[in-house]
Amino acid sequence: MAEDVPPSPSCSNSSRFFIGRNGRGNWVAQEEQGLCGGLFVTRTEAIKFALFENGHRPQAVITVPGILELEISRKPGVAACASSETRAPLARAVQACLVESHNHEPLRRHQPQ
């Protein structure tokens, strides 16, 4: 990405981003409210995008386990419609990552078992 291109106006510097793989194996970067995101060939590019969009705050980039599909149909302020089966594991993974980052431990990708 060019340095002179401003971040997306729909994303704020306080945005958290989720990074993961979709069902086709592409890397996904998705702002927590679904306001912006993208598909990437490599994890590095997905993280680079997330950092660019959130004001270079690595503590606000969270790698999630399992499948993360890019959801672009959300509107600002509207929560994603997900089943409790999908939401609960993701919520636990996000909480675990937040605890790790709060304890200043490096974030790592959790492998599904």
What's the whole-number mean pLDDT along residues 28-51? 95
Q: What is the pLDDT of residues 45-94, one digit of tens each?
A: 999 999 999 999 999 999 999 999 998 765 655 444 444 444 455 555 55
Place of tokens 């590095």: 44
Mean pLDDT across the chain, nearest whole number? 73
- Residues in CB range of 68: below 8 A, 6 or more apart: 18, 19, 20, 21, 22, 28, 30
Query: Model pTM greater than 0.75?
Result: no
Rounded Cα gap, residues 71 and 94, in angstroms: 17
